[in-house]
Amino acid sequence: MAELRGYLRGEPNSILFLHGPKSSGKTTLMYRLFKQIIQENAYEINFLNLRKVFLTSYDDFIDAFFKSTEQNKGIKTGTRRQYSLFGMFKLDAFTERMLHQKKEDPFLVMEREFQRLQKKDIQPVIIIDEFHKLDGLYMPDKQKRLMVELMNFFVAMTKESHLCHVIIASSDAFFIEQVYVDSKLRKTSRFMKLDYLEKEDVFTWLGDVGKYNKVKEYTLDQGQIELIWDTVGGSAWEIYSILEQLFQRSLTEIVDKIKREKVAMIADWCFRDPTGGRVKVLELFRETDVLGIRAFVPEQLNTLGQAVKDNILYYDPLDGVYGVQGKSLEWGIKGYFDVENAA
């Protein structure tokens, strides 16, 4: 939170790209930030979670970015129907129609709104979660990738005209690398990684589930906490899931089930690639959970990209390394190859 607040304090100068493995808490953090600064009058914050949005065409993008909000939908002010962008920009029905008819440039519409806000001394902030979902969409002329155009626009809004803060979150940092290659945007972004919880925090948490989770039915001893850490690491979501199951099952039973599930998941993922390329990539992660780009050959790039997209591996754009998305998946990989060897 402190790092994010620091970013917002300055003049808009770069895009902030928040990345990190599956379920590390990116969305939770963004919502927390949203809640905090929406109460302050200095910012106009616009949060768009693309996971909740159906996106297959340019029109879907226009709908998602310029849709009227529930509360002012259909409310007529004077003779013009008011709409808002991310619940912020007051757009009239005419502009929206022009956008849909592609007679109005959505980027110009946004820029005009940013300028209007800045004149009122209000700092616009845009947060887009699950940004990678825009991949595969094209501009109306079908030549340009929407995501690249949007990134170029955000560069203009941050680095060049300092009009608006832009925070983009995604667990897929591989795709963003592709965008940077295409549009030479790399130096215009700041990367922030949100990783799983630290060991110390997990031990403090699990050492007092009564206090942190209001659990009265059981407590966990050091051995059990070790076993949980050893199985899922600092993945809060998986820890919660274990704590819930502990009401019905023993920890060893739960841990065994998690590991079997992950082996099955890896087996399924590998099975879907008849060339055997996926197996070759994952085999490299048997002994280590992080590998630099030099461990691979260029032909493996597509498989690596797919692994990141499917949340098997994560990509860290800062260090240029690939890692397994979580400790439980490391068990899955180990288990998968041990079974292969045994067979």
Ligand X SMILES: Nc1ncnc2c1ncn2[C@@H]1O[C@H](COP(=O)(O)OP(=O)(O)OP(=O)(O)O)[C@@H](O)[C@H]1O
Of 232 and 246, which CB lies nearer to Mg ion in the complex structure? 232
Q: Which is it for strands 290-292 and 321-324: parallel, antiparallel or unpaired?
A: antiparallel
Side-chain-side CA neighbours of 194 within 13 Å: the count stands at 24
What three-state secondary structure class fits 321? strand
Interface with Mg ion, residue 27, by CB under 5 A: yes
Q: Closest CB to ligand X among 234 and 332?
A: 234
Q: Would you tell me how many other CB atoms lie within 10 Å of the CB of residue 105?
A: 12
What x-and-dash track marks residues 142-171 binding ligand X by CB under 6 A?
Answer: -----------------------------x
What 3-state DSSP class applies to 237?
helix
Enumerate residues 6+ apart whose C-beta is below 8 A from 49.
27, 129, 130
Binding of residue 237 to ligand X (CB under 6 A): yes
Closer residue to ligand X (CB): 15 or 173:
173
Answer yes or no whether residue 133 interacts with ligand X by CB under 6 A: no
Residue closer to ligand X (CB basis): 25 or 317: 25
Handedness of CA 92, 98, 101, 102 (dihedral sign): negative
CA gap 173, 304 in Å, rounded? 11
Interaction between residue 241 and ligand X (CB under 6 A): no
Q: CA angle, 21 as apex, 244 and 265 as ends, to 5°?
A: 65
Comparison of 26 and 133: residue with beta carbon closer to Mg ion: 26
- The token pair at 257 is 């089930």
Residues in the interface with Mg ion (CB under 5 A) total 2
Buried b (16+ CB within 10 A) or exposed e, 228-259: bbebbbbbbebbeebbeebeeeebeebbeebb
Query: Considering beta carbons, is residue 113 or 238 the nearer one to Mg ion?
Result: 238
Residue 27 within binding range of ligand X, rule CB under 6 A? yes
Among ligand X, Mg ion, none, residue 327 binds (CB under 5-8 Å by kind): none
Alpha-carbon dihedral of residues 115, 119, 123, 124, nearest 10 degrees? -30
Q: Examine residue 49 and tell whether it contacts Mg ion (CB under 5 A).
A: no
Nearer to ligand X, 23 or 303 (CB): 23
Binding of Mg ion at residue 311 (CB under 5 A)?
A: no
24 touches ligand X by CB under 6 A: yes
Task: Name the residue number minimizing CB distance to ligand X.
Answer: 25
Per CB under 6 A, 296 contacts ligand X: no
- 23 binds ligand X per the rule CB under 6 A: yes
Structure tokens at 123: 């700092």
Which one among 26, 67, 165, 278 touches ligand X, defined by CB under 6 A?
A: 26
**Matching residue, tokens 């945007």:** 185
204 binds ligand X (CB under 6 A): no
Stretch that binds ligand X, among 23-31, 140-148, 214-222, 250-258 (CB under 6 A): 23-31
| Contact residues for ligand X, defined by CB under 6 A | 20, 22-28, 171, 236-237
